[in-house]
Amino acid sequence: MLIDHLTAGFSLNEFLETVPSLERRQAQRFLELTGEQMNECASSLTSV
């Protein structure tokens, strides 16, 4: 849901306004982990 909002052009602040139970630090950590996973995936594809 967060990634869908961000790719649609909404800011993190706008997303957090729609999900008041989610803390900013939780969303930021999710994005960090997602970025790490994407980097690992891209790295494994380029090293083949």
Task: Decide if 16 contacts 24 (C-beta within 8 A).
Answer: yes
Each residue's pLDDT tens digit, 27-43: 999 999 999 999 999 98
What is the rounded CA–CA span in Å between residue 32 and residue 3?
12
% of the chain residues with pLDDT over 90: 85
Residue 20 has pLDDT above 90, yes or no: yes
Residue 20's domain comprises 2-46
The residues, any chain, with a CB within 8 Å of residue 14's CB and separated by 6 or more, are 5
* Domain count across the chain: 1
Positive/negative CA dihedral, 3, 7, 8, 10: positive
Q: Whole-model pTM?
A: 0.77
